[in-house]
Chain A
Amino acid sequence: MDVFHMLVTVLESTIRVSVPLIFAALGGLFTERAGVFDIGLEGKMLGAAFAAGAVAAVSGSVWAGLFAAILISVLLSLVHGYASITQRGSQIVSGVAINFVVFGSTVILGEAWFRQGGRTPALSGDARFGTITFPFAEEIRPVPVIGPIYADLISGHFFLTYLAFAMVPITWWILYRTRFGLRLRAVGENPGAVDTAGISVVWMRYRAVICCGILAGLGGAYLSLAMTAGFVKGMTAGKGYIALAALIFAKWKPLNVMLACLLFGFLDAFAIRLQGNPLPLIGQVPVQLMQALPYILTVILLAGFIGKAVPPKAGGVPYVKER
């Protein structure tokens, strides 16, 4: 029973850490399927987390914070769009630049406004998301197996957590069952086909980039409004890059994205759980090694276990009408 209890705890924190990955990776899915590579997911999430923390702290409203997060993330996406779609610049350079600018400016602005070493003030009450408890969670908890699964795994998460998982089928539906999705996928594979069909390649790609901004904004807001109570300097800690890795691992497909994010989340949760506990047969393992484990496994998985991941054919290439 102890093992079962531990498993539930690990799975519960798996869900918790997977949420920002799912948001960011789905956001990346939208732009990359449209042919715009986005290495700036990290920066967008960080900017959104800061905006959410700052606005929620000042206004006292979690919804104002959420709105600010989405706004900032969409603005950053439009900067990336302007550089890589309109100006046909390097998508990698633009993304990296966004990451750097956001990392630096959140610290500077945070220090200038709140004087807490780059943090935003701790949030409480209405300025932060509360968990949603499903009906009868406490009553069912004592029931073996089903009880803890219902009470701890299914119930008791944030609104954004449920939204993240709902976005998976929604994204799939948009991509494969709507006109927008058909054109979006086409523009990432052969923009010429879209252009000659009389559809604007530029406008399609901008819309994809905006979708990415909204989702990355939700991911960032989750970090500072739900998972923790406020913004901390550099709090995304590479989650944007892990989300990109998950996206490649998932071969740019929505359901796979969720599974990949859960896997990376599980590795993370597992590593946290094992810290300080001796492993059977091996004994005490250094904390640093456990912390590095998810990243090491990421490299191994990406290097060897997924077969050939074929990216969208027109990905990373600005569209120029041929003369």
Chain B
Amino acid sequence: MSDIAIELRGIDKSFGPVHANKHIDLVVKKGTIHGIIGENGAGKSTLMSILYGFYQADHGEILIDGKVLTIKDPNAAIASGIGMVHQHFMLVDNFTVLENVMLGAEDSPVLNASISRARVELKRLEREYALEVNPDALIQELPVGLQQRVEILKALYRKADILILDEPTGVLTPPEADHLFRILEQLKNQGKTIILITHKLREIMAVTDEVSVMRRGEMVATRETDKTSVEELAELMVGRRVLLRVEKGEARPGDVKLSVRNLTVRDTRGVTMVDDVSFDIRAGEIVGIAGVAGNGQSELLEAIAGIRRAAGGTVDLNGSKVDVTGLADPADLRTRGLAHVPEDRHHVGLVLKFEESENAILGYHRDPAYKKGPLLDIAAMRADAEANIARYDIRPPNPRLKTANFSGGNQQKIVLAREMERNPDVLIIGQPTRGVDVGAIEFIHKRIIEMRDQGKAVLLVSVELDEIRALSDRILVMFAGRVVGERDADADEGDLGLLMAGVENRMEAAQ
């Protein structure tokens, strides 16, 4: 018995011209939690997919327990004791927990015997690892935290000794994430080996024993977690020094620019998504809305931006009414000084098949500056696009390139440049750094603070609590469509987490 669970030697993988993994070496010790960190597209997921048999490496070998193995499909991976919890859960929504756990690991062609065995085994796993879940519940009726637990149970049911978790906390509330980390600790104490893939530095520091950093397809370093720091890891990831927390001075709030009163929004089924929400935003301040995705933040943004009709309430922009319950026109709102960076840049913010310069004026295409008789003034469009490309360091610097060919971070910069460079009075931003690399995050955060310092009113929605805390001057927490609390920028993280989970205060939590 060696004390090394997994060893990768010289793993190499290309997809056409993309060299996703370049001669990767990795050693994971038995009974540890090993973090793998890197920016989007650094090759973390590809490497894990090779380990799980989804892809075959072009070169290199995989050693499990000191033995060289060829893992030609997930079956082989499962047989050698590897289990994987995917970022997007691989569960059948209208199956029960039991059926999901059983799927692919049934004992016999007729199910009766398998079902009773699975039930007994599930009970045992529940007891051993404190992973309670009702075996007869339908997946679609479970909260995401429990769905993830089912994924872990699936792996344990298949007798996995090595558990790979791919970005496991993306969908969890902070308390749920903490709970997951406790589960991982316990699994480790029972002798399991865990590989945690993430781009969140905080998680790496919190739970791992060792951490390996990937950058552009290469494994650049492995460190013991105790002997490294967030700053060092960030620098290794990006390849240069980064500021993790942007510096900002005191806010100097001015007049109220956006005033929301009793806003209520229902979705197409008639379910209330935003419930009687009121707040003001002043010039020169950033108000952040924290909350777990799906608690009404998206609907709130859309109603204010005029792309979703509200059921009731009023919105004042620059002191004049916006017809949010009727026919508020997003184009009209833009001319009145409201800029909107939508949450979902792929579906709302950009037309991916358009050239960069076309997206750079989308929504402002009626501006006389781009008019040449009845036609668009292409030269003026391109000139503006080029100016933005230079100012926002958008790469590659080519206004004629199809937008789909830019990376996520650069696409986001295209949207931000378009909305911020119009000198709006009010800027509303949804998920400014979703799917954006650490380096670009720093830049985007700086720009948002600059906007504030220029006296703009900024409404920020993000599911990243760290981002909300880093940027906001005031924080509103939304839960189930309501604003359940307001806190200062230096609010305690645990306190915010409880608010986000719908617990009104600590007293209630203790009860």
Chain B residues 75-106 with CB under 8 Å of chain A are 75, 77-78, 84, 86, 88, 90-95, 99-100, 102-106
How near does chain A come to B91, taking the closest CB pair, in angstroms? 6
Contact B74 A192 (CB under 8 A): no
How near does chain A come to B85, taking the closest CB pair, in angstroms? 10
How near does chain B come to A172, taking the closest CB pair, in angstroms? 13
Tell me the complex Cα distance, A198–B103, Å: 10
Chain A CB within 8 A of B406 CB: no
Contact A194 B103 (CB under 8 A): yes
Chain A residues 165-217 with CB under 8 Å of chain B are 177-180, 182-183, 185-186, 189-190, 192-199
Tell me the complex Cα distance, A183–B100, Å: 10
Name B95's contact: one of A179, A186, A321, A323 (CB within 8 Å): A186
Instruction: Give the chain B neighbours of A198 by CB distance below 8 A.
Output: 73-75, 77-78, 104
Name A177's contact: one of B88, B90, B95, B110 (CB within 8 Å): B110
Chain A CB within 8 A of B206 CB: no
Name B111's contact: one of A178, A186, A321, A323 (CB within 8 Å): A178
Instruction: Give the chain A neighbours of B108 by CB distance below 8 A.
Output: 179
Nearest B residue to A195 via CB reads: B74
Instruction: Give the chain A neighbours of B109 by CB distance below 8 A.
Output: 178-180
Contact A197 B110 (CB under 8 A): no
Instruction: Give the chain A neighbours of B77 by CB distance below 8 A.
Output: 198
Contact B103 A182 (CB under 8 A): yes
Chain B CB within 8 A of A313 CB: yes
Nearest B residue to A322 via CB reads: B88
Chain B residues 111-135 with CB under 8 Å of chain A are 111-112, 114
Tell me the complex Cα distance, A192–B88, Å: 10
Instruction: Give the chain A neighbours of B103 by CB distance below 8 A.
Output: 182-183, 186, 193-194, 197, 199
Nearest B residue to A310 via CB reads: B94
Chain A CB within 8 A of B54 CB: yes
Contact B111 A177 (CB under 8 A): yes
Query: Which secondary structure characterizes the binding site on chain B?
Result: loop
Nearest B residue to A176 via CB reads: B111
Contact A190 B93 (CB under 8 A): yes
How near does chain A come to B93, taking the closest CB pair, in angstroms? 7
Instruction: Give the chain B neighbours of A183 by CB distance below 8 A.
Output: 103-104
Tell me the complex Cα distance, A197–B110, Å: 18
Contact A193 B111 (CB under 8 A): no
Nearest A residue to B109 via CB reads: A179
Contact B91 A193 (CB under 8 A): yes
Contact B110 A190 (CB under 8 A): no
Contact A196 B92 (CB under 8 A): no
Name B106's contact: one of A179, A195, A313 (CB within 8 Å): A179
Nearest B residue to A189 via CB reads: B92
Chain B residues 358-378 with CB under 8 Å of chain A are none
Contact B100 A193 (CB under 8 A): yes
Nearest B residue to A197 via CB reads: B104
Instruction: Give the chain B neighbours of A178 by CB distance below 8 A.
Output: 109-111
Tell me the complex Cα distance, A221–B84, Å: 48
How near does chain B come to A193, taking the closest CB pair, in angstroms? 4
Tell me the complex Cα distance, A180–B106, Å: 10
Given known pairs A198-B74, A198-B75, the reply for A190 and B106 (CB within 8 Å) is: no
Tell me the complex Cα distance, A179–B52, Å: 24
Given known pairs A177-B110, A198-B74, A198-B75, the reply for A182 and B102 (CB within 8 Å) is: yes
Tell me the complex Cα distance, A182–B114, Å: 12
Given known pairs A192-B88, A199-B104, the reply for A182 and B99 (CB within 8 Å) is: yes
Chain A residues 286-313 with CB under 8 Å of chain B are 313
Instruction: Give the chain B neighbours of A197 by CB distance below 8 A.
Output: 74, 78, 90, 103-105, 154
Tell me the complex Cα distance, A193–B101, Å: 10
Name A313's contact: one of B84, B93, B110, B154 (CB within 8 Å): B93
Tell me the complex Cα distance, A199–B110, Å: 17
1/0 contact trace for B130-157 toward A, CB 8 Å?
0000000000000000000000001000
Listed from nearest, the 3 A-B pairs whose CB atoms lie closest are: A197-B104, A198-B75, A193-B90
24 A–B pairs (Cβ distance < 8 Å), ordered by A: A177-B112, A179-B109, A179-B114, A180-B109, A182-B99, A182-B103, A182-B111, A186-B95, A189-B95, A190-B90, A190-B92, A192-B86, A192-B88, A193-B90, A193-B103, A194-B103, A194-B104, A197-B74, A197-B90, A197-B105, A198-B73, A198-B77, A199-B103, A199-B104
Interface residues of B (CB under 8 A from A): 15, 52, 54, 73-75, 77-78, 84, 86, 88, 90-95, 99-100, 102-106, 108-112, 114, 154
**6 extra interchain contacts, Cβ-Cβ under 8 A, other than A177-B112, A180-B109, A196-B84?**
A182-B106, A196-B52, A196-B74, A197-B90, A198-B78, A199-B103
